[in-house]
Structure 1
Amino acid sequence: MSPSGIQVNKLCIVLIAGVFAGVLVIYRLWPGDSSKGDTKLTEPVEEQKMAAGKEESKAASWYTEFVDIPADLLSGGGDDQVKEVVVQVTLNGKSLKIFTRQANPKGSETHLDVLFLHGQAFTSKNWLDIGTLNLVARCGHRAVAVDLPGYGKTTDGVDSPSKGAFIGALVKALKMTRPVVVSPSMSGSFSLPFLFDQPETAEDRSRGYLPVAPVATSTYTQVYSKSKIPTMIVYGEKDESLGATSLKNLIKLPNSKPFVVPDAGHPAYINNPTFFHRLLYNFLKIIAAHK
Protein backbone atom coordinates (compact mmCIF):
# COMPACT_ATOMS: atom_id res chain seq x y z
CA MET A 1 0.00 0.00 0.00
CA SER A 2 1.30 3.45 -0.85
CA PRO A 3 2.28 5.87 1.95
CA SER A 4 -0.66 8.06 1.01
CA GLY A 5 -3.04 5.13 1.49
CA ILE A 6 -1.61 4.40 4.93
CA GLN A 7 -2.11 8.04 5.92
CA VAL A 8 -5.76 7.93 4.77
CA ASN A 9 -6.39 4.76 6.80
CA LYS A 10 -4.81 6.32 9.87
CA LEU A 11 -6.98 9.40 9.43
CA CYS A 12 -10.13 7.24 9.21
CA ILE A 13 -9.19 5.36 12.36
CA VAL A 14 -8.61 8.63 14.23
CA LEU A 15 -11.96 10.03 13.08
CA ILE A 16 -13.85 6.86 14.08
CA ALA A 17 -12.17 6.83 17.48
CA GLY A 18 -13.07 10.48 17.99
CA VAL A 19 -16.72 9.90 17.10
CA PHE A 20 -16.92 6.92 19.48
CA ALA A 21 -15.34 8.91 22.32
CA GLY A 22 -17.76 11.78 21.73
CA VAL A 23 -20.79 9.46 21.86
CA LEU A 24 -19.51 7.92 25.09
CA VAL A 25 -19.10 11.34 26.74
CA ILE A 26 -22.58 12.45 25.68
CA TYR A 27 -24.09 9.23 27.00
CA ARG A 28 -22.43 9.63 30.40
CA LEU A 29 -23.47 13.28 30.76
CA TRP A 30 -27.01 12.94 29.41
CA PRO A 31 -29.57 13.58 32.23
CA GLY A 32 -31.40 10.36 31.58
CA ASP A 33 -35.06 9.37 31.58
CA SER A 34 -37.24 12.10 33.10
CA SER A 35 -39.33 9.44 34.79
CA LYS A 36 -36.48 8.87 37.22
CA GLY A 37 -37.38 12.16 38.85
CA ASP A 38 -40.49 10.52 40.28
CA THR A 39 -38.33 8.50 42.64
CA LYS A 40 -37.90 11.65 44.72
CA LEU A 41 -41.41 11.13 45.99
CA THR A 42 -40.79 7.62 47.28
CA GLU A 43 -37.27 7.90 48.62
CA PRO A 44 -36.90 8.65 52.35
CA VAL A 45 -37.46 12.36 52.90
CA GLU A 46 -34.19 13.93 54.00
CA GLU A 47 -33.09 17.52 54.42
CA GLN A 48 -31.06 18.61 51.42
CA LYS A 49 -28.56 21.36 50.68
CA MET A 50 -27.88 23.97 53.37
CA ALA A 51 -25.19 22.19 55.39
CA ALA A 52 -25.86 24.40 58.40
CA GLY A 53 -29.44 23.20 58.47
CA LYS A 54 -28.34 19.58 58.57
CA GLU A 55 -25.93 20.07 61.44
CA GLU A 56 -28.13 22.22 63.66
CA SER A 57 -31.27 20.10 63.28
CA LYS A 58 -29.97 16.71 64.40
CA ALA A 59 -31.37 17.13 67.89
CA ALA A 60 -35.01 17.54 66.80
CA SER A 61 -36.79 15.37 69.36
CA TRP A 62 -39.83 14.74 67.19
CA TYR A 63 -38.05 13.42 64.12
CA THR A 64 -38.24 9.75 63.22
CA GLU A 65 -38.20 7.71 60.02
CA PHE A 66 -40.90 8.78 57.58
CA VAL A 67 -43.41 6.45 55.93
CA ASP A 68 -45.62 6.70 52.87
CA ILE A 69 -49.23 7.83 53.21
CA PRO A 70 -51.49 4.73 53.32
CA ALA A 71 -53.34 4.19 50.04
CA ASP A 72 -56.79 4.24 51.67
CA LEU A 73 -56.16 7.76 52.99
CA LEU A 74 -55.14 8.98 49.55
CA SER A 75 -58.17 7.56 47.76
CA GLY A 76 -61.05 8.25 50.12
CA GLY A 77 -63.48 11.15 50.36
CA GLY A 78 -64.28 14.22 48.28
CA ASP A 79 -64.69 17.95 48.66
CA ASP A 80 -68.15 17.49 50.22
CA GLN A 81 -66.33 16.89 53.50
CA VAL A 82 -65.25 20.55 53.57
CA LYS A 83 -67.73 23.09 54.93
CA GLU A 84 -67.63 26.86 54.51
CA VAL A 85 -68.10 28.58 57.86
CA VAL A 86 -68.01 32.28 58.77
CA VAL A 87 -66.62 32.68 62.29
CA GLN A 88 -67.14 35.66 64.60
CA VAL A 89 -63.80 36.69 66.09
CA THR A 90 -63.56 39.28 68.84
CA LEU A 91 -60.37 41.35 68.76
CA ASN A 92 -59.68 44.60 70.61
CA GLY A 93 -63.35 44.96 71.42
CA LYS A 94 -64.43 44.58 67.79
CA SER A 95 -66.24 41.69 66.12
CA LEU A 96 -64.71 40.41 62.88
CA LYS A 97 -66.34 38.09 60.36
CA ILE A 98 -63.72 35.56 59.25
CA PHE A 99 -64.29 33.12 56.40
CA THR A 100 -63.03 29.58 56.94
CA ARG A 101 -63.10 26.18 55.27
CA GLN A 102 -63.36 23.31 57.73
CA ALA A 103 -63.07 19.54 57.45
CA ASN A 104 -63.83 17.34 60.44
CA PRO A 105 -62.80 13.69 60.81
CA LYS A 106 -65.45 11.02 60.79
CA GLY A 107 -66.18 9.54 64.20
CA SER A 108 -66.01 11.07 67.63
CA GLU A 109 -62.25 11.23 68.15
CA THR A 110 -60.05 14.05 66.84
CA HIS A 111 -56.31 13.56 67.12
CA LEU A 112 -55.15 17.09 66.34
CA ASP A 113 -56.46 20.52 65.40
CA VAL A 114 -54.62 21.87 62.34
CA LEU A 115 -54.83 25.52 61.28
CA PHE A 116 -53.87 26.40 57.70
CA LEU A 117 -52.90 29.98 56.82
CA HIS A 118 -51.96 31.25 53.34
CA GLY A 119 -49.65 33.52 51.36
CA GLN A 120 -50.33 36.97 49.95
CA ALA A 121 -51.45 35.81 46.50
CA PHE A 122 -53.52 32.92 47.87
CA THR A 123 -56.51 32.05 50.07
CA SER A 124 -57.98 29.11 51.98
CA LYS A 125 -59.25 27.76 48.65
CA ASN A 126 -55.76 26.60 47.71
CA TRP A 127 -55.79 24.07 50.55
CA LEU A 128 -59.13 22.80 49.22
CA ASP A 129 -57.94 22.62 45.61
CA ILE A 130 -54.87 20.50 46.33
CA GLY A 131 -56.82 18.16 48.61
CA THR A 132 -55.06 18.98 51.88
CA LEU A 133 -58.14 19.58 54.02
CA ASN A 134 -59.82 16.30 53.11
CA LEU A 135 -56.58 14.35 53.51
CA VAL A 136 -55.97 15.76 56.98
CA ALA A 137 -59.55 14.98 58.03
CA ARG A 138 -59.20 11.40 56.75
CA CYS A 139 -56.12 11.10 58.96
CA GLY A 140 -58.32 11.82 61.98
CA HIS A 141 -57.49 15.49 62.47
CA ARG A 142 -59.66 18.60 62.34
CA ALA A 143 -58.51 20.84 59.47
CA VAL A 144 -59.38 24.54 59.29
CA ALA A 145 -58.15 26.86 56.54
CA VAL A 146 -58.77 30.58 57.00
CA ASP A 147 -59.02 33.57 54.70
CA LEU A 148 -56.87 35.95 56.71
CA PRO A 149 -58.15 39.50 57.38
CA GLY A 150 -58.33 41.46 54.13
CA TYR A 151 -57.92 38.40 51.89
CA GLY A 152 -60.32 36.20 49.95
CA LYS A 153 -63.82 36.25 51.41
CA THR A 154 -62.73 37.98 54.63
CA THR A 155 -63.22 41.71 54.12
CA ASP A 156 -62.58 42.78 57.72
CA GLY A 157 -58.99 43.76 58.40
CA VAL A 158 -56.59 44.06 61.35
CA ASP A 159 -53.63 46.36 61.95
CA SER A 160 -50.10 44.95 61.92
CA PRO A 161 -49.50 45.04 65.70
CA SER A 162 -52.63 42.90 66.23
CA LYS A 163 -51.81 40.07 63.82
CA GLY A 164 -50.45 37.69 66.46
CA ALA A 165 -53.34 38.45 68.81
CA PHE A 166 -55.72 37.82 65.92
CA ILE A 167 -54.51 34.22 65.56
CA GLY A 168 -55.01 33.71 69.28
CA ALA A 169 -58.55 35.12 69.06
CA LEU A 170 -59.29 33.00 65.98
CA VAL A 171 -58.12 29.82 67.73
CA LYS A 172 -60.39 30.67 70.65
CA ALA A 173 -63.38 31.36 68.39
CA LEU A 174 -62.82 28.08 66.55
CA LYS A 175 -62.53 26.23 69.88
CA MET A 176 -59.25 24.67 68.76
CA THR A 177 -56.86 23.11 71.25
CA ARG A 178 -53.19 23.95 70.69
CA PRO A 179 -53.48 23.66 66.90
CA VAL A 180 -50.59 22.72 64.65
CA VAL A 181 -50.04 25.87 62.59
CA VAL A 182 -49.18 25.60 58.88
CA SER A 183 -47.91 28.98 57.73
CA PRO A 184 -46.69 29.84 54.21
CA SER A 185 -45.10 33.11 53.11
CA MET A 186 -47.05 36.27 54.06
CA SER A 187 -48.85 34.48 56.89
CA GLY A 188 -45.60 34.48 58.82
CA SER A 189 -46.55 38.01 59.89
CA PHE A 190 -49.47 36.37 61.75
CA SER A 191 -48.01 33.06 62.96
CA LEU A 192 -44.61 34.28 64.15
CA PRO A 193 -45.88 36.86 66.66
CA PHE A 194 -48.59 34.40 67.79
CA LEU A 195 -45.89 31.88 68.69
CA PHE A 196 -42.78 33.88 69.49
CA ASP A 197 -43.82 37.13 71.11
CA GLN A 198 -43.68 34.84 74.15
CA PRO A 199 -41.36 32.07 72.91
CA GLU A 200 -41.08 30.19 76.22
CA THR A 201 -44.79 29.35 76.14
CA ALA A 202 -45.21 28.70 72.40
CA GLU A 203 -46.03 25.04 73.10
CA ASP A 204 -48.95 26.14 75.28
CA ARG A 205 -50.52 27.67 72.17
CA SER A 206 -49.51 25.15 69.51
CA ARG A 207 -48.37 21.51 69.42
CA GLY A 208 -46.33 22.05 66.26
CA TYR A 209 -45.29 24.61 63.67
CA LEU A 210 -44.91 24.00 59.93
CA PRO A 211 -43.65 27.16 58.23
CA VAL A 212 -43.28 27.20 54.43
CA ALA A 213 -40.79 29.97 53.67
CA PRO A 214 -42.60 32.60 55.76
CA VAL A 215 -41.83 36.30 55.91
CA ALA A 216 -40.56 38.16 58.98
CA THR A 217 -38.40 35.33 60.32
CA SER A 218 -35.51 37.69 61.12
CA THR A 219 -37.66 39.52 63.70
CA TYR A 220 -37.35 36.71 66.23
CA THR A 221 -33.82 35.39 65.71
CA GLN A 222 -32.79 36.46 69.23
CA VAL A 223 -35.57 34.47 70.94
CA TYR A 224 -35.94 31.29 68.87
CA SER A 225 -33.57 29.48 71.23
CA LYS A 226 -36.08 29.95 74.07
CA SER A 227 -38.75 27.84 72.36
CA LYS A 228 -38.89 24.05 72.15
CA ILE A 229 -41.91 23.88 69.83
CA PRO A 230 -41.60 21.02 67.27
CA THR A 231 -40.99 22.73 63.93
CA MET A 232 -40.83 21.28 60.42
CA ILE A 233 -39.12 23.90 58.24
CA VAL A 234 -40.27 23.53 54.62
CA TYR A 235 -39.07 25.38 51.53
CA GLY A 236 -39.01 24.83 47.78
CA GLU A 237 -35.89 23.66 46.00
CA LYS A 238 -36.17 26.57 43.54
CA ASP A 239 -37.04 29.22 46.14
CA GLU A 240 -33.74 31.07 46.40
CA SER A 241 -35.07 34.13 48.22
CA LEU A 242 -37.47 33.59 51.11
CA GLY A 243 -36.73 29.88 51.21
CA ALA A 244 -33.04 30.40 51.99
CA THR A 245 -33.68 33.33 54.32
CA SER A 246 -36.36 31.60 56.36
CA LEU A 247 -34.22 28.47 56.73
CA LYS A 248 -31.23 30.49 57.91
CA ASN A 249 -33.35 32.08 60.65
CA LEU A 250 -35.75 29.31 61.64
CA ILE A 251 -33.02 26.72 62.02
CA LYS A 252 -32.20 28.53 65.27
CA LEU A 253 -35.30 26.89 66.74
CA PRO A 254 -33.79 24.06 68.84
CA ASN A 255 -36.49 21.50 68.01
CA SER A 256 -36.59 22.11 64.26
CA LYS A 257 -35.65 20.14 61.17
CA PRO A 258 -35.56 21.40 57.55
CA PHE A 259 -36.99 19.70 54.47
CA VAL A 260 -36.70 20.84 50.88
CA VAL A 261 -39.53 20.16 48.41
CA PRO A 262 -38.05 19.12 45.04
CA ASP A 263 -39.12 20.76 41.79
CA ALA A 264 -40.92 23.51 43.71
CA GLY A 265 -40.63 27.27 44.01
CA HIS A 266 -41.87 29.61 46.72
CA PRO A 267 -45.40 28.10 47.03
CA ALA A 268 -43.85 24.67 47.47
CA TYR A 269 -47.04 23.00 48.72
CA ILE A 270 -48.84 24.01 45.52
CA ASN A 271 -45.99 23.23 43.14
CA ASN A 272 -45.48 19.71 44.53
CA PRO A 273 -48.48 18.77 46.71
CA THR A 274 -47.69 15.04 46.64
CA PHE A 275 -44.34 15.55 48.31
CA PHE A 276 -45.67 18.21 50.66
CA HIS A 277 -48.54 15.98 51.78
CA ARG A 278 -46.06 13.23 52.68
CA LEU A 279 -44.17 15.69 54.85
CA LEU A 280 -47.37 16.95 56.47
CA TYR A 281 -48.76 13.45 57.05
CA ASN A 282 -45.63 12.32 58.87
CA PHE A 283 -45.30 15.49 60.94
CA LEU A 284 -48.91 15.27 62.15
CA LYS A 285 -48.59 11.53 62.77
CA ILE A 286 -45.52 12.06 64.95
CA ILE A 287 -46.97 15.05 66.82
CA ALA A 288 -50.22 13.17 67.53
CA ALA A 289 -48.27 10.24 68.97
CA HIS A 290 -46.52 12.44 71.52
CA LYS A 291 -49.21 13.91 73.72
Structure 2
Amino acid sequence: MTRYQAALLGLGLLLMFLLYMGLPGPPKQTSQLGRGPNVTVLTGLTRGSSQIFYREVLPLQQTHRAEVLFLHGKAFNSHTWEQLGTLQLLSKRGYRAVAVDLPGFGNSAPSKEVSTESGRVELLEGVLRDLQLQNTVLVSPSLSGSYALPFLMQSHHQLCGFVPIAPTSTRNYAQEQFQAMKTPTLILYGELDHTLARESLQQLRHLPNHSVVKLHDAGHACYLHKPEAFHLALLAFLDHLP
Protein backbone atom coordinates (compact mmCIF):
# COMPACT_ATOMS: atom_id res chain seq x y z
CA MET A 1 0.00 0.00 0.00
CA THR A 2 1.39 3.39 -1.00
CA ARG A 3 1.61 6.33 1.35
CA TYR A 4 -1.14 8.04 -0.66
CA GLN A 5 -3.47 5.04 -0.29
CA ALA A 6 -2.69 4.79 3.44
CA ALA A 7 -3.45 8.47 3.90
CA LEU A 8 -6.79 8.10 2.08
CA LEU A 9 -7.67 5.08 4.22
CA GLY A 10 -6.80 6.94 7.41
CA LEU A 11 -8.87 9.96 6.33
CA GLY A 12 -11.83 7.72 5.52
CA LEU A 13 -11.67 6.03 8.92
CA LEU A 14 -11.44 9.41 10.63
CA LEU A 15 -14.52 10.70 8.78
CA MET A 16 -16.47 7.54 9.67
CA PHE A 17 -15.53 7.96 13.35
CA LEU A 18 -16.58 11.63 13.40
CA LEU A 19 -19.87 10.80 11.69
CA TYR A 20 -20.56 8.03 14.19
CA MET A 21 -19.80 10.27 17.16
CA GLY A 22 -22.12 12.96 15.79
CA LEU A 23 -25.16 10.71 15.48
CA PRO A 24 -27.57 10.38 18.41
CA GLY A 25 -27.43 6.96 19.94
CA PRO A 26 -30.46 4.69 20.21
CA PRO A 27 -32.29 4.37 23.52
CA LYS A 28 -30.49 2.03 25.88
CA GLN A 29 -31.52 0.08 28.92
CA THR A 30 -29.32 -0.04 32.00
CA SER A 31 -30.10 -2.00 35.12
CA GLN A 32 -29.70 0.16 38.21
CA LEU A 33 -28.36 -1.81 41.18
CA GLY A 34 -29.28 -0.90 44.71
CA ARG A 35 -32.66 0.53 43.72
CA GLY A 36 -34.81 -2.43 44.65
CA PRO A 37 -35.48 -5.73 42.89
CA ASN A 38 -36.04 -5.83 39.14
CA VAL A 39 -35.78 -2.07 38.65
CA THR A 40 -34.78 -1.08 35.13
CA VAL A 41 -34.15 2.49 33.97
CA LEU A 42 -34.68 3.22 30.28
CA THR A 43 -32.81 6.24 28.90
CA GLY A 44 -32.63 7.74 25.44
CA LEU A 45 -33.49 10.64 23.14
CA THR A 46 -36.85 11.54 21.66
CA ARG A 47 -37.08 11.50 17.88
CA GLY A 48 -38.34 15.06 17.33
CA SER A 49 -36.43 17.98 15.83
CA SER A 50 -35.45 19.09 19.35
CA GLN A 51 -34.10 15.86 20.74
CA ILE A 52 -34.94 15.62 24.43
CA PHE A 53 -33.19 13.26 26.83
CA TYR A 54 -35.49 11.20 28.99
CA ARG A 55 -35.29 8.57 31.69
CA GLU A 56 -38.01 6.13 32.65
CA VAL A 57 -38.24 3.44 35.30
CA LEU A 58 -40.14 0.55 33.77
CA PRO A 59 -42.97 -0.80 35.93
CA LEU A 60 -43.07 -4.56 36.33
CA GLN A 61 -46.74 -4.33 35.43
CA GLN A 62 -48.53 -1.15 34.43
CA THR A 63 -51.78 -1.29 36.35
CA HIS A 64 -52.87 2.36 36.31
CA ARG A 65 -54.33 4.34 33.43
CA ALA A 66 -52.48 7.59 34.13
CA GLU A 67 -48.91 8.09 32.87
CA VAL A 68 -46.78 10.72 34.62
CA LEU A 69 -44.39 13.14 32.92
CA PHE A 70 -41.96 14.99 35.20
CA LEU A 71 -40.42 18.33 34.25
CA HIS A 72 -37.87 20.10 36.47
CA GLY A 73 -36.71 23.40 37.90
CA LYS A 74 -33.74 25.58 36.95
CA ALA A 75 -31.18 23.88 39.20
CA PHE A 76 -32.29 20.33 38.37
CA ASN A 77 -32.86 17.79 35.59
CA SER A 78 -34.46 14.39 35.01
CA HIS A 79 -31.91 12.66 37.24
CA THR A 80 -33.38 14.51 40.24
CA TRP A 81 -36.53 12.38 40.07
CA GLU A 82 -34.48 9.19 39.93
CA GLN A 83 -32.23 10.22 42.82
CA LEU A 84 -35.30 11.15 44.88
CA GLY A 85 -36.77 7.71 44.23
CA THR A 86 -39.92 9.17 42.66
CA LEU A 87 -39.70 7.26 39.39
CA GLN A 88 -39.02 4.00 41.18
CA LEU A 89 -41.87 4.51 43.64
CA LEU A 90 -44.42 5.22 40.92
CA SER A 91 -43.27 2.25 38.86
CA LYS A 92 -43.71 -0.04 41.85
CA ARG A 93 -47.26 1.29 42.19
CA GLY A 94 -47.96 0.39 38.57
CA TYR A 95 -47.64 3.85 37.01
CA ARG A 96 -45.61 4.63 33.94
CA ALA A 97 -43.35 7.54 34.97
CA VAL A 98 -41.01 9.48 32.67
CA ALA A 99 -38.72 12.42 33.42
CA VAL A 100 -37.14 14.65 30.78
CA ASP A 101 -34.28 17.11 30.56
CA LEU A 102 -35.64 20.37 29.18
CA PRO A 103 -33.58 22.02 26.39
CA GLY A 104 -30.27 23.31 27.72
CA PHE A 105 -30.41 21.17 30.87
CA GLY A 106 -28.86 17.81 31.67
CA ASN A 107 -28.31 15.83 28.48
CA SER A 108 -30.64 17.89 26.26
CA ALA A 109 -29.04 20.41 23.92
CA PRO A 110 -30.27 24.02 23.85
CA SER A 111 -32.97 24.76 21.29
CA LYS A 112 -34.01 28.05 19.66
CA GLU A 113 -37.49 26.63 19.17
CA VAL A 114 -38.35 27.02 22.86
CA SER A 115 -37.74 30.77 22.89
CA THR A 116 -41.44 31.22 22.14
CA GLU A 117 -44.53 29.99 23.96
CA SER A 118 -45.78 28.13 20.90
CA GLY A 119 -42.38 26.46 20.53
CA ARG A 120 -42.50 25.21 24.12
CA VAL A 121 -46.00 23.82 23.58
CA GLU A 122 -44.88 22.07 20.40
CA LEU A 123 -41.91 20.58 22.24
CA LEU A 124 -44.09 19.00 24.94
CA GLU A 125 -46.55 17.79 22.32
CA GLY A 126 -43.61 16.14 20.55
CA VAL A 127 -42.41 14.50 23.76
CA LEU A 128 -45.86 13.02 24.43
CA ARG A 129 -46.09 11.82 20.84
CA ASP A 130 -42.57 10.36 20.62
CA LEU A 131 -42.81 8.57 23.95
CA GLN A 132 -46.41 7.51 23.27
CA LEU A 133 -47.63 8.99 26.54
CA GLN A 134 -51.40 8.90 26.99
CA ASN A 135 -53.68 10.02 29.82
CA THR A 136 -50.77 12.13 30.97
CA VAL A 137 -50.31 13.80 34.35
CA LEU A 138 -47.85 16.68 34.02
CA VAL A 139 -45.69 17.49 37.06
CA SER A 140 -44.23 20.98 36.79
CA PRO A 141 -41.96 22.61 39.39
CA SER A 142 -40.68 26.17 39.23
CA LEU A 143 -39.01 27.12 35.90
CA SER A 144 -40.87 24.43 33.98
CA GLY A 145 -44.07 26.43 34.43
CA SER A 146 -43.04 28.31 31.28
CA TYR A 147 -43.58 25.00 29.45
CA ALA A 148 -46.44 23.48 31.44
CA LEU A 149 -48.79 26.45 31.70
CA PRO A 150 -48.99 27.29 27.98
CA PHE A 151 -49.37 23.57 27.33
CA LEU A 152 -52.23 23.46 29.84
CA MET A 153 -53.90 26.43 28.15
CA GLN A 154 -53.55 25.12 24.60
CA SER A 155 -53.37 21.32 24.87
CA HIS A 156 -55.14 20.53 28.14
CA HIS A 157 -57.20 17.86 26.36
CA GLN A 158 -54.02 15.72 26.35
CA LEU A 159 -53.79 15.84 30.16
CA CYS A 160 -55.75 13.87 32.73
CA GLY A 161 -53.98 15.64 35.62
CA PHE A 162 -51.72 18.57 36.44
CA VAL A 163 -49.35 18.99 39.42
CA PRO A 164 -47.83 22.49 39.60
CA ILE A 165 -45.18 23.03 42.29
CA ALA A 166 -44.71 26.81 42.66
CA PRO A 167 -44.40 27.22 38.87
CA THR A 168 -43.22 30.33 37.07
CA SER A 169 -45.26 32.20 34.43
CA THR A 170 -48.63 32.19 36.21
CA ARG A 171 -48.85 35.96 35.75
CA ASN A 172 -48.94 35.48 31.99
CA TYR A 173 -52.56 34.32 32.11
CA ALA A 174 -55.81 35.91 33.20
CA GLN A 175 -58.17 34.61 35.85
CA GLU A 176 -60.69 33.70 33.16
CA GLN A 177 -58.14 31.51 31.38
CA PHE A 178 -57.48 29.51 34.54
CA GLN A 179 -61.20 29.20 35.25
CA ALA A 180 -61.73 27.63 31.82
CA MET A 181 -59.37 24.73 32.59
CA LYS A 182 -61.18 21.65 33.92
CA THR A 183 -58.08 19.43 34.33
CA PRO A 184 -57.85 17.86 37.82
CA THR A 185 -55.02 19.69 39.57
CA LEU A 186 -52.94 19.16 42.69
CA ILE A 187 -51.25 22.41 43.77
CA LEU A 188 -48.17 21.64 45.86
CA TYR A 189 -45.90 24.13 47.60
CA GLY A 190 -43.53 24.49 50.52
CA GLU A 191 -44.54 26.39 53.66
CA LEU A 192 -41.24 28.33 53.67
CA ASP A 193 -41.49 29.44 50.03
CA HIS A 194 -42.69 33.00 50.57
CA THR A 195 -42.18 34.28 47.02
CA LEU A 196 -42.98 32.12 44.01
CA ALA A 197 -45.31 29.77 45.89
CA ARG A 198 -47.53 32.61 47.07
CA GLU A 199 -47.46 34.37 43.73
CA SER A 200 -48.39 31.25 41.77
CA LEU A 201 -51.08 30.21 44.26
CA GLN A 202 -52.94 33.48 43.70
CA GLN A 203 -53.54 32.47 40.08
CA LEU A 204 -53.65 28.68 40.33
CA ARG A 205 -56.48 28.83 42.89
CA HIS A 206 -58.74 29.94 40.02
CA LEU A 207 -58.48 26.46 38.48
CA PRO A 208 -61.95 25.05 39.20
CA ASN A 209 -60.96 21.42 39.82
CA HIS A 210 -58.05 21.73 42.24
CA SER A 211 -56.82 20.71 45.66
CA VAL A 212 -53.94 22.25 47.62
CA VAL A 213 -51.25 20.59 49.71
CA LYS A 214 -48.76 22.66 51.74
CA LEU A 215 -45.64 20.79 52.79
CA HIS A 216 -44.61 22.02 56.25
CA ASP A 217 -41.01 23.09 56.96
CA ALA A 218 -40.21 22.89 53.24
CA GLY A 219 -38.86 25.57 50.92
CA HIS A 220 -39.20 26.20 47.20
CA ALA A 221 -37.96 22.73 46.18
CA CYS A 222 -40.38 21.19 48.67
CA TYR A 223 -40.17 17.72 47.10
CA LEU A 224 -36.49 17.59 48.08
CA HIS A 225 -37.03 18.87 51.61
CA LYS A 226 -39.99 16.60 52.42
CA PRO A 227 -39.87 13.71 49.94
CA GLU A 228 -42.08 11.35 51.94
CA ALA A 229 -44.85 13.91 52.32
CA PHE A 230 -44.50 14.85 48.67
CA HIS A 231 -44.76 11.24 47.53
CA LEU A 232 -47.79 10.58 49.73
CA ALA A 233 -49.62 13.63 48.35
CA LEU A 234 -48.72 12.80 44.75
CA LEU A 235 -49.79 9.15 45.02
CA ALA A 236 -53.06 10.08 46.74
CA PHE A 237 -53.83 12.43 43.86
CA LEU A 238 -52.89 9.89 41.18
CA ASP A 239 -54.80 7.06 42.83
CA HIS A 240 -58.02 9.07 42.82
CA LEU A 241 -57.91 10.12 39.16
CA PRO A 242 -60.71 8.62 37.08
TM-score for the superposition, normalised by structure 2: 0.80
**Superposed displacement of residue 197, structure 1:** 3.1
**What is the rounded CA distance, in whole Å, between the counterparts of 1:260 and 1:79 in structure 2?**
34
The equivalences for 1:153-168 within 5 A come to: 153-157=107-111, 158-161=114-117, 162-168=119-125
Contact kept, 8 Å, 1:116 with 1:145, in 2: the verdict is yes
Code of the aligned partner of 1:220: Y
The answer to whether structure 1 residue 100 and structure 2 residue 54 are counterparts is yes
Determine the structure 1 residue equivalent to 2:80: 126
Contact kept, 8 Å, 1:112 with 1:140, in 2: the verdict is no
In structure 2, do the counterparts of structure 1 residues 172 and 264 end up closer, same or farther at CA, with 3 Å as the change threshold? same
Larger Cα-atom Rg: 1
The answer to whether structure 1 residue 211 and structure 2 residue 164 are counterparts is yes
**Superposed displacement of residue 281, structure 1:** 0.7
May I ask how many residue pairs the two structures share in their alignment? Answer: 205
Secondary structure of the residue that 2:51 maps to in structure 1? strand
Q: Which consecutive residues of structure 2, in runs of 5 or more, have no partner in the other structure?
A: 1-34
Secondary structure of the residue that 1:97 maps to in structure 2? coil
Determine the structure 2 residue equivalent to 1:81: 40
104-113 vs 227-236, which deviates more?
104-113
Determine the structure 2 residue equivalent to 1:137: 91
Percent sequence identity over matched residues? 38
The answer to whether structure 1 residue 284 and structure 2 residue 238 are counterparts is yes
Q: Residue 154 of structure 2 is aligned with which of 193, 197, 202?
A: 197
**Superposed displacement of residue 88, structure 1:** 1.4
- The superposition leaves residues 139-182 of structure 1 with CA deviations (integer Å, 9 ceiling, x where unpaired) of 11100000001111101413233112211111111100031000
Determine the structure 1 residue equivalent to 2:138: 181
- The superposition leaves residues 60-112 of structure 1 with CA deviations (integer Å, 9 ceiling, x where unpaired) of xxxxxxxxxxxxxxxx83694222222112xxxxx222110111211364532
Code of the aligned partner of 1:236: G
* CA RMSD, Structure 1 to Structure 2 (Å): 1.8
The answer to whether structure 1 residue 267 and structure 2 residue 224 are counterparts is no
In structure 2, do the counterparts of structure 1 residues 108 and 231 end up closer, same or farther at CA, with 3 Å as the change threshold? closer
215-224 vs 252-261, which deviates more?
215-224
104-113 vs 145-154, which deviates more?
104-113
In structure 2, do the counterparts of structure 1 residues 78 and 235 end up closer, same or farther at CA, with 3 Å as the change threshold? farther
In structure 2, do the counterparts of structure 1 residues 168 and 277 end up closer, same or farther at CA, with 3 Å as the change threshold? same
Determine the structure 2 residue equivalent to 1:238: 192
**What is the rounded CA distance, in whole Å, between the counterparts of 2:153 and 2:41 in structure 1?**
31
Q: Which consecutive residues of structure 1, in runs of 5 or more, have no partner in the other structure?
A: 1-75, 90-94
User: Of the two structures, which has the highest relative contact order with CA contacts closer than 8 Å and spacing of 6 or more?
Assistant: 1
**What is the rounded CA distance, in whole Å, between the counterparts of 1:120 and 1:79 in structure 2?**
32
Q: Residue 106 of structure 2 is aligned with which of 148, 152, 164?
A: 152
Contact kept, 8 Å, 1:98 with 1:156, in 2: the verdict is no
TM-score for the superposition, normalised by structure 1: 0.67
Contact kept, 8 Å, 1:112 with 1:179, in 2: the verdict is yes
Contact kept, 8 Å, 2:62 with 2:94, in 1: the verdict is no
Code of the aligned partner of 2:152: L
